Each structure stands twice: as C-alpha cells, then as structure tokens.
Amino acid sequence: MTPGFAERLAGERLGGVILLASNIGTPEEVSEFVAAIQGTNPAWPPLVAVDQEGGLVARLPGDPAPSAPELGLLPPEAIAAWAAERAAFVAGFGFDVNFAPVADIAFGPASFMAGRTFGADPERVSEAVAAYVVGVVGSGVIHCAKHFPGHGRPSVDSHLALPEVALSMEEWRETDGLPFAAAIDAGVPMVMLGHLRYRAWDDLPTSISPVAVGVLRNELGFDGVITTDDLGMAALVEYDPLTVVDLAIAAGVDQLLYVTPAVPLADLIAHLVAEVEAGRVAEERIDVSLRRLLGLRGDDD
C-alpha cells in the first residue's frame, strides 16, 4: 500500500474500493492489499471489489472458470458449477464484490460487448445469467449483474463516448431486459447501470436516470443495491462532475463508482455532505441507500 493511502481511506471512509489490473501483483500481495484496505475502517470495512468476468476481463491470473462465451454453450448446471468455482477463487483473495456476471446480449460481432457475454440469443443468455447467479449464492462474494439496461447493441465504447440505443420499451422487455429480469429473479444482490442513452426512456444517461432506476425498482421488482458504472468515464464528459453526483442521487442510485474521477473524491464527498446539510438532499434519502449497502453484509439493523 502506497504511503498515505491507508490514511486517506480512513479519513474518507469510502464504502468500497475497486482494484484494477494495475493494482494486481502476486497472489500474496493481492491478499495482503485487500486485507489492508479492509483494515482501514474496522467499524465498517470498505467492500473491496474486482472485475473478474473471466476471459477478456480477468484481473486475477489463474481463474479456473471458462469465459462467458464458453460458459454460454454449457447447460445451466455446468454454468452454475463453474460460477461457484470462480467465486471461490475470488473469495480466496479476500474480495467482497465481483462485478459479474455480464447480463448484456452481444447481438453481433460489432457489439462493444462481443467476447464478454454469454451469447446473442436473449432466451439463452437469460438462462445462463440465472444459472450463474444461482451458482454464486452463498459464496461469500457479492455479485453484480451489468450493464443495465443492456450494452450489447452499440459498437461505441462507453469509456470513450456515450452510446445511444434506439429501442422501444416493449422491444427492450422482449430482448435486452430479459437477462436482467432473470438475474433479479435468481437473487442477484446488485445491478450496475451502464452509460447509455436510451432515447425511448429519457435523455439522461441510464447511469444517472430516474427512469432506469424506476424500471429496476418498479417493473422488475429489484430491491437490492443499484450501482453506477465508473462515473469518470468519457461517456459523461458533457456533465459537470458535481452535477453527476446530484443527478445520480436524485435518480435513486445507491452506490457511485469512480475509477478515474474528474475531481478529487474528497471534493465529491464534501459536495454531497453540503447538499444534505443545506437540505437539498434529504438525509432519509441517503439512509435508504445506506441500509441497502449495509444489507449486503447482512448488517442492516
């Protein structure tokens, strides 16, 4: 751990920390790093997360399970078994969260998600996503279905620009929405919002859209944690970073994810605290999300 990092984490009291490929060393170093991060706040240890989808997105070397495209060819029982293997592998390092499975449908080779999904058929992908979620229940690692409401159609990389999707709500329900509904029915505890503009929904990116949150809560019946994708991605470059915080909170998002924040995290935190203290954001609104996040650890009293 670099000098000052532990003190920064203890001071900012972040709810979680994500490790990327640049943070990964030997297995022993990773385990020690994860434990050190968790030790910076004994009262409420930060949730330490990783993107271990397998295949193209695998931060940890030595993953025993096949990639999503390979898993998508297997029967549900085999998918569940391999998902459990990967979860045990991730748990072995001490991670609390794995941002997987991908619930997008790669409708063709031009899709930005090609090579990262269970396939191109909505029904088959839904079955695979549900099987994966069933396989990781009880693993001790929190899993997250992503990237709602579906990142499989655009070829645009949301790290670089905001993709747009021309799809009616009814078409979405019959295609891209099916794997997310399946994940929720199977008990997934977290869903990640992607950076996409679904014009039939509203003009806001879905990661900060009350419509997207409303579909999850009211139509799909999801009462778990809703997290954003990295809010520092270029997909949101047209929005002021503090406005992004305001819109995400107003939309009903529970967790704001940052890998490359445009301004220091301390400034983002101070802004939200000031909004609450000024009465522009109700403390009860924050408490609702806090209870969901505490519930991930089974500590929601």
pLDDT band at 7 (very low <50, low <70, confident <90, very high): confident
For 260-292, give one letter per residue: b (16+ CB within 10 A) or e. Answer: ebbeeeeebeeebeebeeeeebeeeebeebeeb
Is 20 a member of any domain?
no
- Pairing type for strands 225-230 and 255-257 reads parallel
Predicted confidence (pLDDT) per residue in 206-242, tens digit: 999 999 999 999 999 999 999 999 999 999 999 999 9
Is 33 a member of any domain?
no
pLDDT reading at 298 higher than 90: no
pLDDT reading at 301 higher than 90: no
How high is the pLDDT of residue 164?
Answer: 95
CATH code of the domain containing 135: 3.20.20.300
Is 94:19 a contact under the CB 8 Å cutoff? no
Active site residue 229: yes
Q: What is the mean pLDDT of the chain?
A: 95
pLDDT reading at 294 higher than 70: yes
Is 136 a member of any domain?
yes
In sequence order, the 6+-apart residues with CB closer than 8 A to the CB of 195 are: 147, 158, 162, 163, 205, 206, 207, 229, 233, 235, 236
Active site residue 230: no
Is 6 a member of any domain?
no
How high is the pLDDT of residue 300?
Answer: 47
pLDDT band at 112 (very low <50, low <70, confident <90, very high): very high
Predicted confidence (pLDDT) per residue in 51-75, tens digit: 999 999 999 999 999 999 999 999 9
Locate 20 and state its tokens: 């990327």
Is 49 a member of any domain?
no
Q: Which of 63, 159, 267, 271 is catalytic?
A: 159
pLDDT band at 271 (very low <50, low <70, confident <90, very high): very high
The Cα 5–Cα 40 span in angstroms is: 10
Predicted confidence (pLDDT) per residue in 25-53, tens digit: 999 999 999 999 999 998 889 999 999 99
Q: Which domain holds residue 205?
A: 58-262
How high is the pLDDT of residue 158?
Answer: 95
Number of domains in the chain: 1
Percent of the chain with pLDDT over 70: 99
Is 301 a member of any domain?
no
Percent of the chain with pLDDT over 90: 90
pLDDT reading at 8 higher than 90: no
Name 148's bridge partners.
193
Q: Which of 51, 229, 230, 254 is catalytic?
A: 229
pLDDT reading at 252 higher than 70: yes
pLDDT reading at 185 higher than 90: yes
Predicted confidence (pLDDT) per residue in 136-183, tens digit: 999 999 999 999 999 999 999 999 999 999 999 999 999 999 999 999
Of 26, 99, 30, nearest in space to 68 by CA: 99
Is 82 a member of any domain?
yes
pLDDT reading at 299 higher than 60: no
Q: Backbone phi, then psi, for 54, in 5-degree steps?
A: 90, 155
Is 277 a member of any domain?
no
